[in-house]
Amino acid sequence: MSELAVDIIKRGGRRPSERYSRDKLHASIVAACLSVNTPAGLAEEIAAAVCDDVAQWLSVRPEVTSDDLRRVAARHLNIHHPDAAYLYEQHRIII
């Protein structure tokens, strides 16, 4: 699947924006699933499904913030794995 030409504006706007990377999103979803003891194969499947959903959401947007991207990814992840979605959302607000 070709990469979408979407710019991700980083949190707080302090770091430069970067191009959307499906691989990066996929890896973060897999990590969230593995963190709640999901088998690796299932984690990959869920991540692929969530990335597809997010890609659809991104397809009509030239740029989004990283917070929006995380929120939308968490919303879709919540359909497949609520525990992983909870941890995915909490990741930045644990400390």
Partner 1 sequence: MDTFSSLAVIALAALIHASFQLSISVLTLLSGHALGANHARIRVWRLTTSFVIGAGVATMLLLSFLAILFNSLYGRTAPAVVWAITCGLLVGVGVAIWLFYYRHSRGTTLWVPRGMAHYLSDRTKATRDSAESFGLGLSSVFAELLFIGAPLILSALVLVRLTPGLQLAGLFMYTMISMLGLVLVWALVGSGHSLSSIQKWRETNKGFLQFVGGGGLLVLSFFVYVSQIFGGFGS
Return the residue of 4, 7, 70, 86 that touches partner 1, per CB under 8 A: 86
31 binds partner 1 (CB under 8 A): yes
| Residue given tokens 């979605």 in the structure block | 85
Residue of 90, 59, 54, 86 lying closest to 73 (CA atoms) = 54
Cβ proximity to partner 1: between 7 and 67 the closer is: 67
Least distance in Å: CB of 60 to partner 1? Answer: 28
Return the residue of 1, 2, 14, 37 that touches partner 1, per CB under 8 A: 37
Three-state SS string over 48-85 comes to HHHHHHHHHHHCCCCEEEHHHHHHHHHHHHHHHCHHHH
Least distance in Å: CB of 87 to partner 1? Answer: 5
Q: Which residues of this protein are in contact with partner 1, per CB under 8 A?
A: 30-32, 34-37, 40, 83-84, 86-87, 90-95
